[in-house]
Structure 1
């Protein structure tokens, strides 16, 4: 019982120092989990998350490291071409005809079994497999060894062409034929950045004809991290305007902090682009954007959207354990956990754990929680009740003594 009370008091002491709390949904298995941080949690926390903590049901800190998911991921996949025929004339040549599935092509990739040989080759193209036209003549194919696999990929450049059929002729006069396993090409796929939408409390557009500018005031409920701004512009059809982001800074002046606008970043709005801009990380409650119109009519701004790069923390969680997130404590600095040293060796493809029930403790609630028990109203009433009981007991004893004395 005493141990439980000590744990409870210690946990409440930790909790009292943070203004914002949240919970993590129960996980089904032990191990590392990815916990994506909602924009609300990041808004309540320090910009670098130095005051972000995870604690278990006993109030002990759970180590974590921050995973920045703001990099574009590039993946490659090999697409095979259909081989229509393969002919080998001993001590002469090997001829392979295959179909080109693309509208245009400027290179092909061969998958070849490892071989310590050098080959010359020629490539031609055709639209009917009857009349062939030269593309590559007597080029060299070498370095056909891969120390990590039994086959090697070799890229053969071509002049940009649109022939439906292509033919490769490999010279076998000096060496034995090589084993061409596949013919095709690599397709690179780039996954876009993972971002979360941030919604402004208000966005007010002010036209300033005298200054030939448009000013956009952006106000949020709390300081927000902004990494990307998107503009939807409906008119005019052709435009090219410089835009500048200003933030509010305080400048000491006569012992008072005078607020003045400071240039944070700039970009160009252009009708030839998507007008989606990645900006240096911005962490402000309000700022404004100025568009320089010069002698042009103002832009018709249909929509302005704000986004922040998604980040997550990786933590080792236990199944069915209750975890609490604590943040918004300006006194804390970034923690130093051993887990940080293993971040490069940990696979990021981990099960996810979600954050829910985000609550901010108001100043009034925090004051009440920080009061000592003898300052609480319930303690005062308890003392009054105990005092009443004591008075009643002594009154009863006094009356009894008086009756006993009267009877003597």
Structure 2
């Protein structure tokens, strides 16, 4: 009986912890209509990457129906839109700068540069300006490398930075040790539709540690986030190492499993990649949700790859819902919410592609005592179902114990 009671307490505590709720205000809209609401990395983390654990609520705590749309761009369907290069300057053995003009002041978070092939590597900064005189920092101290591809006289590199509408963007390259690189062309890739959702959301704030395992001839990259994150794309920028390489890399994460009434931790392979010096080394459609994982690169008898930069991205996901002007809405996130059943999902083909978009404020953790009653009937929640299961399990355990005791007597 004591063992059953302990199990009951353990399950109940786990249930309470798993029912943590988060909320964020949705920005008001100016006109009635159907809007797309992008989900931030924080929402994916709080919902444990389950969109059915999300609700849109109005001021009266009524649920607003929505359907989920994945807004992933496909680069092969995109067209290259050139941006004019308005200035190239150089201070010998110090710095060279390139200024690119975004005439239409589009909201962009990346630009592709076509660069003349070279073997040099560069450290660069990116800044933005509205008038070409006052500059504001966007990116600092990043490394640009691998600027040559066999059989080609140019390479194309994609540069990511915070979403902005600056008219001018400036690249400053450090030329203290090498001659300047030759920037030939600049532009962005646009797809045919006009959802206005950036192609990918870059994740920041993770720690990266690289270890050389000489005994097993591996390069091991440890990546850790503060909270689990949805991961769809990895890109690698390898600044140092052999000029040509072809390496197999494994993505691995720890998992728990029950073996003979005990829990053991093991390492599971989540995916396998191939790093190639002749390719971009961008890997999409990974579909991971991890707080911590490793990338193990098999060097075999080759020199190890060093100074490896890893960038991590999420594919855009947004909720499509009908909102009213002048009304306040908020997003409530709780993984214990049951799956909603809304009619709107059956009519999503009727909506046009160029939906207007609204955002949301900071997602905040809500203490259990502040959770608004009546938002979702308690008997419809996963909490109620688990309480029923646990209560039944406790009673069954108690009756079994009584039966065994009577049989012994």
After TM superposition, is the score higher than 0.5? yes
Partner of 2:231: 226
After TM superposition, the score normalised by the length of structure 2 is 0.55
Count of equivalent residues: 241
Please state if 1:37 is matched with 2:39: yes
Residues 123-145 of structure 1: CA deviation (Å, up to 9, x unaligned): xxxxxxxxxxxxxxxxxxxxxxx
Q: 1:61 aligns with which of 56, 63, 81?
A: 63
User: Distance in 2 between the 1:284 and 1:67 partners?
Assistant: 22
- CA shift for structure 1 position 202: 1.1
Please state if 1:330 is matched with 2:330: no
Q: 1:360 aligns with which of 345, 357, 365?
A: 365
* Structure 2: stretches of 5+ with no match in the other structure: 1-18, 81-188, 193-197, 374-409
Q: 1:292 aligns with which of 287, 298, 322?
A: 298
SS in 2 for 1:357: coil
Larger radius of gyration: 1
* Structure 1: stretches of 5+ with no match in the other structure: 1-16, 78-188, 372-408
Partner of 2:155: none
Q: 2:20, 2:368 within 8 Å by CA — same for their partners in 1? A: no
Q: 2:54 aligns with which of 39, 52, 58?
A: 52
Q: 1:231, 1:301 within 8 Å by CA — same for their partners in 2? A: no
Say if 1:313 and 1:269 are closer, same or farther in 2 by CA, change over 3 A.
same
Please state if 1:247 is matched with 2:258: no
Partner of 1:213: 218
User: Distance in 2 between the 1:356 and 1:227 partners?
Assistant: 24
User: Distance in 2 between the 1:321 and 1:31 partners?
Assistant: 12
Residues 163-207 of structure 1: CA deviation (Å, up to 9, x unaligned): xxxxxxxxxxxxxxxxxxxxxxxxxx8639811011243111111
- CA shift for structure 1 position 71: 4.3
User: Distance in 2 between the 1:357 and 1:216 partners?
Assistant: 31
- CA shift for structure 1 position 359: 0.6
SS in 1 for 2:362: strand
Q: 2:23 aligns with which of 21, 24, 32?
A: 21
- CA shift for structure 1 position 336: 1.2
Partner of 2:283: 277
Q: 2:53, 2:338 within 8 Å by CA — same for their partners in 1? A: yes
Question: Residues 181-192 of structure 1 correspond to what in structure 2 (within 5 A)?
Answer: 191=191
Q: 1:35, 1:313 within 8 Å by CA — same for their partners in 2? A: yes
Partner of 1:318: 324
- CA shift for structure 1 position 250: 0.8
Structure 1 moving runs of 4+ over 6 Å: 368-371
